[in-house]
Amino acid sequence: MIRKKYMKFSTYIYEPDKSIEVYKETEKFFEENPEIKKRIEELGWIYHTVGMIIPQNSENFWSGHYFPFNDSWEELQVSFTQICFGLYKQAFVSLRGGLELGMLSVYFNINDDGHNAVAEWLHAKENREADTPFAKTIWKIILQNDNIRKFNEKHNIETVHKNFGYLHDYVHAKGAKHSNQMGILKNNSQTFEAELISKWLKSYADIISLICTLHLLKYPISVVRFDYNKKFGIDIPSFGGLEEYNFDKIAAILPDKYIEDIKLIAKEDPTTQRTIQEINALPDMTEEQVEEQIINLEKMFIKNGEGFTSWLDDQEKQLKSFGIEEFDNEMKARIELLKKWAEENNFMEPKAKRKGWDI
């Protein structure tokens, strides 16, 4: 087997090919430690789920109020990628960025006017109001929220945040310990460091725990167990509520008593209780109404995506992935209905092919 030769750059020692070699060792490490790989995956899903808590409506959908959280999630993913390639200092710098952006998600939306509050910062205007606020300013604002203030008085989460101050040292390279020289096996290029992966994972998990907690406190309806499918079917509006299985994922990683105390806060939160009462007063969805929602959603995927033929292939692959050989009668009827509709409307093939796009 001929080893692929990577491009070389004279005078540079931190070359891309070194990172590729480190990545191979990182892959092997995850294969030999599947529990660590699983932990990283679970934490990623949990953080992604927290984004579902932030309300989206016609007024704020394109406003940018969701940008800080989304960018936080992207920054954390970049941090993970840097860990995989042996860029450990940079990974911790990105962790700090993810933490800061996660805090800003709560800060800008603290008064439910994030669609306005975020505007100047989002567009990087040349004024002081557009500057990213210091941590002290962020806490001054978010502690004006009664839920966060009460919880902080008991659990001191402001100190939890201050304890992440060590991440600042990676940004400014406080000595060799926080520089590109960090690592037991370190020479003058990228190296695989199992201990640094463990250290990174601890920081990653702690950051996700704190940002999750703050979002649950800002939107305490998220901790209320309620069967929203019964009232909304598959089209649950984005108002801060979580389906129970998503709530359970988040609850599993938080410190003892956190969920218990946030639930107590939710019971005393007027907005939460009023919203739950309004939802509970809605009529239950019928099976026919839910099926109509499903049909309309699948029609949208077929019409605007790969067409019916590819859609059906995907359904069959998914079926087999669960070890099932045949669709149930309900799904068979759905397929027949969608096939007839697709044939009548010329949606059998992908949209790009139907439109003659050269992709």
Question: Tens digits of per-residue pLDDT, 251-267?
Answer: 999 998 999 999 999 99
* Cα–Cα distances in angstroms (integers) from residue 343 to residues 197, 309, 346, in the given order: 53, 10, 5
Q: What is the pLDDT of residue 34?
A: 97
Q: What is the pLDDT of residue 180?
A: 81
Q: What is the pLDDT of residue 58?
A: 58
Verify that 326 and 250 share a domain, yes or no: no
Is there a domain that residue 6 lies in? no
Is there a domain that residue 8 lies in? no
Of 249, 204, 198, 241, give the one whose Cα is nearest residue 223. Answer: 241
Supply the range of the domain harboring residue 331. Answer: 287-355
**Residue that is last in its domain, among 222, 253, 279:** 279
Is there a domain that residue 4 lies in? no
What's the token pair of residue 79?
């941090």
Q: Quick one: residue 307, left, alpha or beta (phi over 0 = left, psi -120 to 50 = alpha)?
A: left
Is there a domain that residue 252 lies in? yes
- Given a contact cutoff of 8 angstroms between Cβ atoms, the answer to whether 344 and 324 are in contact is no
pLDDT at 143 over 90: yes
Of 342, 252, 251, give the one whose Cα is nearest residue 301. Answer: 342
pLDDT band at 115 (very low <50, low <70, confident <90, very high): confident
Calculated CA dihedral for residues 211, 214, 220, 221, nearest 10 degrees? -30
Give the whole-angstrom CA distance, residue 219 versus residue 240: 6
**Residue that is last in its domain, among 246, 279, 312:** 279
* Cα–Cα distances in angstroms (integers) from residue 356 to residues 301, 304, 311, 339, 352, in the given order: 19, 14, 19, 22, 6
Q: List, as one string, the DSSP characters of 186-253.
A: --SS----HHHHHHHHHHHHHHHHHHHHHHHHHSGGGGS---HHHHHTT----SS---HHHHHHHHTT
Q: What is the pLDDT of residue 186?
A: 64
pTM of the model: 0.86
The end-to-end CA distance of the chain, in Å, is 35
Q: What is the pLDDT of residue 1?
A: 45
- Give me the number of domains the chain comprises: 2
Tens digit of pLDDT for each residue in 35-62? 999 999 999 999 999 999 988 865 655 5
Tens digit of pLDDT for each residue in 333-353? 999 999 999 999 999 999 888
Output 27 or 132, whichever has higher pLDDT: 27
Tens digit of pLDDT for each residue in 216-263? 999 999 999 999 999 999 988 888 899 999 999 999 999 989 999 999
Calculated CA dihedral for residues 131, 132, 134, 138, nearest 10 degrees? 120
Tens digit of pLDDT for each residue in 289-316? 999 999 999 999 999 988 999 999 999 9
DSSP state, residue 176: G
Is there a domain that residue 228 lies in? yes
Verify that 231 and 301 share a domain, yes or no: no
Give the whole-angstrom CA distance, residue 87 versus residue 17: 13
- The residue written with tokens 């100047």 in the block is 120
Rounded to an integer, the average pLDDT of 164-175 is: 90
Verify that 275 and 309 share a domain, yes or no: no
Please state, rounded to an integer, the average pLDDT across all residues of the chain: 90
Is there a domain that residue 268 lies in? yes
Q: How many helices and strands (H and E) does the chain possess? A: 19, 0
Verify that 90 and 108 share a domain, yes or no: yes
Verify that 34 and 112 share a domain, yes or no: yes
Verify that 274 and 291 share a domain, yes or no: no
Q: What is the pLDDT of residue 124?
A: 79
Q: What is the pLDDT of residue 352?
A: 84
Verify that 204 and 343 share a domain, yes or no: no
| H or E element that contains 296 | helix 287-304
Verify that 255 and 334 share a domain, yes or no: no
Is there a domain that residue 10 lies in? no
State what percent of residues in the chain have pLDDT above 90: 69
Verify that 33 and 103 share a domain, yes or no: yes
Give the whole-angstrom CA distance, residue 153 versus residue 158: 9
Verify that 48 and 171 share a domain, yes or no: yes
Verify that 193 and 59 share a domain, yes or no: yes
**Residue that is last in its domain, among 254, 279, 304:** 279
What's the token pair of residue 129?
């109001």
Tens digit of pLDDT for each residue in 77-108? 999 999 999 999 999 999 999 999 999 999 99
Is there a domain that residue 310 lies in? yes
Verify that 294 and 268 share a domain, yes or no: no
State what percent of residues in the chain have pLDDT above 70: 94
